[in-house]
Amino acid sequence: MRDYYNANDVKQITGCSQSLAYEIIRKLKESFEKKYPNAISIQGKIPIWYFEEMMMNKKKGSDTSGKN
């Protein structure tokens, strides 16, 4: 199971260019490192849960399917 998205994943999900995918990751990593200063980050990758929380308004562990 993967825990991180890379630029190719972001590109595929968003439909943006490769350079914009890297820019998105860079900006998300900046906010991630400010919010979680003690977390270890990996260059060129962003945690899947953080990407989905910030870009898709999904919360970690929440069910967005609309089912109760």
Q: What are the tens digits of pLDDT across the range 11-68?
A: 999 999 999 999 999 999 999 999 999 999 999 999 999 999 999 888 776 554 444 4
pLDDT of residue 25: 97
Q: Check pLDDT > 80 for residue 3.
A: yes
pLDDT computed for residue 66 by the predictor: 47
Domain boundaries, the chain: 4-55
Contacts of 50 (CB under 8 A, 6+ apart): 28, 32
Distance separating alpha carbons of residues 45 and 22, to the nearest angstrom: 9
Do residues 5 and 54 lie in contact, with contact meaning Cβ atoms separated by under 8 Å?
no
* Residue 59, pLDDT score: 77
Q: What is the pTM assigned to this prediction?
A: 0.80
